[in-house]
A and B are shown apart, each in its own frame.
Chain A
Amino acid sequence: MTDLLHHPLVEFTAEHAPLQFINERGERVENQQNAQFVRYLEHLNVDDLKNFYRDMMVVRRFDIEATALQRQGELALYAPLLGQEAAQVGSGQALAASDMVFPSYREHGVAHTRGMDMAKILQLFRGVDHGGWDSFEHNFHLYTLVIGSHALHAVGYAMGIQQDARMTAQRDAAAQHDAATQHSDAQAGAHFGDADAGEQGTTQPQADASSPDSASAAFRGDTSQDASHTGQAPQEAVMVYFGDGATSQGDVSEALGFAAVNNAPVVFFCQNNQWAISVPNSLQFKAPLYLRGSGFGVPGVRVDGNDVLAVHAATRWALEHARHGNGPVFIEAVTYRMGAHTTSDDPTKYRSREEEAHWRAKDPIDRIRLALEAEGAWSETDDAALSAELEGFGEYLRGYVRSLGAPEKSSMFEHVYATENVLVSEDKAWFAEYEASFVDAQGEAQ
């Protein structure tokens, strides 16, 4: 295992073959490469696999509903994640609740695995807020639309985690020193032992597995942490999601550099969905993306992004690597944006039907379903229950979106600064007076 941690590139450089556990036909794959990652799947049982499938189906339903709502004029825009469900659900479920996620703008599936109500995301696409959810409620930060910027935020946040640990160590050392000088007897040791009570730190948040909004949150905890051994609380990790196009931004390279020299506990999760709007990989970079970090000293792994198990295993490995002080990791999840870039986009202008068909055959949901069926793990009863759940979810989403009224006009002026600001309050007062001057609100002639 240490070999893998220290030289992960060696295994894959030769042919750039992505890590895979389930192929397109739903068959289990066993090879030398994935043997190294098997241990990251060992904790999964059949119910967990079914939960992967369910989560992916829920996410896809969300995508279908949101796309329809946009077409009906209920949303101004929508960015579909169709085809990227495995990359998002598989990676999202590898995270611990205490880990922090910095998403791009298409990570609706990751939001779901964090336990966030995906309906909230639609507020952004309806144009009633800029996201505005509480980043710390589910440790899922706001969407970032400016490509690549958030990679630096993620690294900085990870540096903060490191700083916390240093500060704590310093304080503990100081306390120990004080204690030692004041009572040079066994008392100091007893106190220190108290603070160390490993169980507190190692307790993983165990969400209720029957919770409807994140079926499989139960195994989000990283069982591979051996905190009891070190007596240290497991370090938090950070994950940043971005696309193939984003790798061209300077901010992403800068983030890799900062992460590397700081040995920051951050995982760079790149969903290579082959396209950046109309720009294909070939116009964006020349070397396989998973190698991108290597020049910075950040190891990389390429994974079949449409294989939920491969994604899950690789992400668990990467998080463990980061968490244990081994520094950042770069994951390239090879997947495909099966839909348009956004509802404003027309992919027929730049890619072929053949290409789309080629990838449709690699649908991430089909293969896990085939695998479940082959293993006799999915019954008609399961199907009926899931359909009912999805119908209910669809209805909920439609109702939620339609019930979103326009925000208060005066809300425009809120939260510009943390403190009272005369420039804002002047404008706000002017606007209020102006609005009041319309005796009968006629609406604008424009």
Chain B
Amino acid sequence: MTATVSDTTAETTQRLPFAKAITEGLRAAMRRDDKVMLMGEDIGKLGGVFRVTEGLQAEFGDHRVVDTPLAESGIVGTAIGLAMRGYSPVLEIQFDGFIFPAYDQITTQLAKMHYRSKGRIKLPIVIRVPFGGGIGAVEHHSESPEALFAHTPGLRVVSPGSAHDAYTMIQEAIASPDPVLFFEPKGRYWEKGPVDLSVGPRVEAGTLNKAAIARAGSDVTMVAYGPTVATALRSAEAAAQEGISIEVVDLRAISPLDTDTIVESVRRTGRCVVVHEAVSYMGPGAEIAARVTERCFYELQAPVLRVGGFHHPYPVAKLEHDYLPSLDRVLDAVDRVMAH
């Protein structure tokens, strides 16, 4: 059960696709603690429809990498029982749009057990959810439902924005004694980034709820997480050509929110744009805008703007690039805050 990290793989930094960084994070956590087990649809032999768990059943056996029946409520519900028995289940929901059969278990049971049991029962469950769009999929395969979970007290909601964070954050999520919704930007799965495999979970550093400054800047604070971190970085690049300096805050966590890091940045820049794929209305950006306004009212030089999903269901694949927060739409918001 305890750490046998001695055999961890390469000590050097490797360039890994986002998806494979998660694979390595899962592998490291499973090697470290034999109570960690994976459950989900098609995650065993197939290695998941996105191959994130590829090779793990071969390494750890089918009692630790479990192909479950096709029932999301069943996956989360049984994981709760397993956690009560001392296990740390890491669950895969095949696609964002298919988490809803489990919504009841997540919100009425998983989120509340610690509270109801006066802290006696801890449920260290991680629910991995490939989320977001841009992959040309059919309906229910491109959604961003994170706000629904962030709105539920008792759940932690995180989303890595880089391959390295994906590798470390999945380990931190597994180490967390609280349930974690782990939203993986599936549209970025095959983008490569440097991953330092010698880094274990940085739990003590509290990185799971600590935002990162992904790029320093002085004119506009751009807040993003998961799939839109890359969009924000690209727009910062583009804006720099026009002499606008954008600071990109990679939130990492949507709940809890590292308001201090955002506020500290906005106090310097005086402008804030939030970018996410989730529907704007009642979305994470609304909460961020409210907090920034509450704490930076006198430093703000422009209203906080949101670039997010429109108020309609995720559109058909042929229109998704008009729906998603594109570079152009992000830069349009930058222009508008700069106009003040």
Contacts and interface: CB of A to CB of B under 8 A. Distances in A.
A349 B53 CA distance: 13
A382 B327 CA distance: 58
24 contacts: A76-B136, A76-B138, A126-B318, A128-B316, A128-B318, A145-B97, A148-B101, A248-B70, A249-B101, A278-B67, A284-B70, A350-B46, A407-B318, A411-B319, A413-B310, A416-B311, A416-B312, A428-B310, A434-B329, A434-B332, A444-B321, A445-B328, A446-B321, A446-B327
A248 B74 CA distance: 9
Interface in A284-298: 284-285
B275 to A, nearest CB: 13
Interface in A33-80: 76-77
Given A76-B138, A76-B317, A350-B45, A276 B70 contact: yes
A277 B312 CA distance: 30
B87 interface: no
A278 B98 CA distance: 17
Given A446-B234, A446-B327, A277 B42 contact: yes
Of the listed residues B67, B234, B238, B321, the one surrounded by the most CB atoms of chain A closer than 10 A to its CB is B67
Interface residues of B, number: 44
A424 B312 contact: yes
Interface size class of A (residues with CB under 8 A): 35 or more
Given A412-B312, A416-B313, A423-B281, A146 B100 contact: yes
Given A249-B101, A413-B312, A446-B326, A77 B67 contact: no
Interface string A170-210: 00000000000000000000000000000000000000000
Contact of B70 (A125, A145, A245): A245
B139 interface: yes
A399 interface: no
A431 interface: yes
Nearest to A128: B318
A382 B42 CA distance: 44
A251 B44 CA distance: 25
Contact of B319 (A283, A412, A424): A412
Contacts of B310: 412-413, 424, 427-428, 431
Contact of A406 (B70, B318, B327): B318
Interface string A233-272: 0000000000001101111000000000000000000000
Contact of B326 (A245, A344, A423, A444): A444
A145 B332 CA distance: 35
B140 A146 contact: yes
Contacts of B315: 412
Nearest to A79: B138
Contacts of B328: 438, 444-445
B327 A445 contact: yes
A315 B45 CA distance: 35
Given A277-B46, A407-B318, A413-B310, A248 B69 contact: yes
Contacts of A76: 136-138, 317
Nearest to B325: A446
B159 to A, nearest CB: 19
A245 B136 CA distance: 25
A284 B69 contact: yes
B138 A277 contact: no
State the main secondary structure of chain B at its contact with A: loop
Interface of B: 41-42, 44-47, 49, 67-71, 73-74, 97-98, 100-101, 136-140, 231, 234, 238, 281, 310-313, 315-319, 321-323, 326-329, 332
State the main secondary structure of chain A at its contact with B: loop
Contacts of A426: 311
A146 B97 contact: yes
A179 B67 CA distance: 65
Contacts of B74: 248, 250
Given A248-B69, A250-B73, A127 B136 contact: yes
Contacts of B47: 349
A251 B71 CA distance: 9
A124 interface: yes
Contact of A250 (B101, B231, B317, B322): B101
Contacts of B231: 446
Contact of B71 (A129, A250, A431): A250
Given A283-B69, A445-B327, A446-B327, A409 B45 contact: no
Contacts of B49: 277, 344-345
A279 interface: yes
A441 to B, nearest CB: 11
A251 B101 contact: yes
A130 interface: yes
A165 B42 CA distance: 44
Nearest to B104: A250
A411 B70 CA distance: 34
A248 B98 CA distance: 14
B140 to A, nearest CB: 5
A161 interface: no
Of the listed residues B97, B281, B318, the one surrounded by the most CB atoms of chain A closer than 10 A to its CB is B318
A77 B138 contact: yes
Nearest to A249: B71
A279 B70 contact: yes
Given A279-B70, A444-B326, A427 B311 contact: yes
A258 to B, nearest CB: 17
Closest 3 CB pairs of A and B: A127-B317, A278-B46, A248-B69
Contacts of B326: 444, 446
A95 B46 CA distance: 37
Given A128-B316, A412-B322, A349 B138 contact: no
A406 B319 contact: yes
Given A76-B136, A145-B138, 13 more contacts: A127-B138, A129-B316, A146-B140, A277-B42, A279-B42, A279-B70, A412-B322, A423-B311, A426-B311, A427-B312, A437-B332, A444-B326, A445-B234
